[in-house]
Amino acid sequence: MNATQTARPAPAETSTAQLDPGFKQQVAARLGGANIMACFACGACTGGCPVSDVDPEFDPRKLIRMALLGLKRELLTSPLIWYCQLCNTCSFVCPQDVRFSEAMGVLREMAIEEGYVSAETGERIWEAEMLSRRLRSRLLRSVVVQALAGRPLDLKQALEAAAAQLRREPGGKE
């Protein structure tokens, strides 16, 4: 190992007792999960994913593979199933039409139904998702306004303006 490489911990071993061979069928039987078994792990979903661009730990291909292998508990307790932005970029690039975003919805529902996550936590995560979408929209508007006005781009100012807009909206906090 050279100076630029870091030691990575060995992956945790999974015993066959931790595998649920029927899990992929459970996912596939639900609306939104039907296409997961078509995945052949090409990685197009991960390559096009805006979340994996900023968080390398989030890998749609690996999450689908975990479902197909029957790693039910490991997957349903993973915070990663909540990171998906549900943007459907993965669906547009998937040659097998797996519809990863829809499968993440199924896994989230299952995590709540099976008690790995409370319904309240699921609702709070959804509220945070909606807030992040509104913030992104307001941020882009602020950047466009700056650009159209011929002002130099100031991301901090644009973010502050976006946050101020959100605070003025119903449900926002002054």
Output 17 or 120, whichever has higher pLDDT.
120
Contact 84, 101 (CB under 8 A): yes
| 78 DSSP 8-state letter | -
Phi and psi, residue 161, nearest 5°: -65, -40
* CATH 1.10.1060.10 segments of the chain: 18-117
The rounded distance, in Å, linking the Cα atoms of 81 and 102 is 11
Q: Would you identify the CATH topology of the domain 18-117?
A: Fumarate Reductase Iron-sulfur Protein; Chain B, domain 2 (1.10.1060)
The tens digit of pLDDT for each residue in 105-118 reads 999 999 999 999 99
Residue 65: CB atoms within 10 Å:
15
Please report, rounded to a whole number, the percentage of residues in the chain having pLDDT higher than 90: 75
The pLDDT mean for the chain works out to: 89
Contact 106, 37 (CB under 8 A): no
Contact 153, 147 (CB under 8 A): yes
As a whole number, mean pLDDT of residues 75-103 equals: 94
Please name the amino acid found at residue 44: A
